[in-house]
């Protein structure tokens, strides 16, 4: 699973930030790694140098094998809150999407013995 971290001009990126983001994503999404080819993370500070409330934004896009990409985003007061929240949302989305793949079709129903 390849993770690419992108930042805008208002966010000071670097290897430390990339490592923290990648660690959070691996913690949340490692169980889906066989289905994910690449993850792109976009971090931005919407207010720039101004101080304010929830102005940090994270958008995470997971590219899945043979499927449409899944996307989750989060706005928070800190970068950590933004990428952590987006990772949690993406985890839930992948559980829903990929969980369907693991269900057995044609499994017994509660009505099987009533016919």
Instruction: Count CA atoms closer than 13 A to 110's CA, side-chain side.
Output: 0
Kindly tell me if the per-residue pLDDT of 74 is higher than 90. Answer: yes
The topology under which CATH files domain 2-101 is Double Stranded RNA Binding Domain (3.30.160)
Enumerate the domain spans of the chain.
2-101
- The confidence score (pLDDT) of residue 41 equals 97
Task: Tell which wins on pLDDT, 49 or 19.
Answer: 19
**Could you tell me the CA-to-CA distances from 48 to 11, 55, 73 in Å, in that order?**
8, 8, 19
Express each pLDDT in 23-55 by its tens digit: 999 999 999 999 999 999 999 987 766 666 668
Strand order in the sheet with 56-64: 2-7, 36-45, 56-64, 70-76
Average pLDDT of the residues of the chain: 86
- Tell me which of 31-35, 55-59, 65-69, 95-99 is least confident: 95-99
């Amino acid at each position: 699973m390849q993770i690419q971290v992108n930042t805008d001009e208002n966010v000071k990126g670097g290897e430390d930030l990339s490592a923290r983001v990648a660690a959070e994503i691996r913690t949340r999404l490692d169980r889906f790694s066989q289905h994910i080819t690449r993850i792109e993370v976009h971090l931005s500070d919407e207010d720039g140098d101004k101080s304010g409330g929830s102005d940090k934004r994270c958008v995470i896009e997971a590219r899945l094998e043979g499927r449409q990409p899944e996307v989750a985003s989060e706005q928070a007061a800190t970068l950590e809150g933004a990428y952590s929240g987006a990772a949690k949302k993406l985890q839930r989305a992948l559980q829903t999407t990929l969980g369907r793949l693991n269900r057995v079709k044609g499994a017994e129903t509660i009505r099987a013995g009533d016919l």
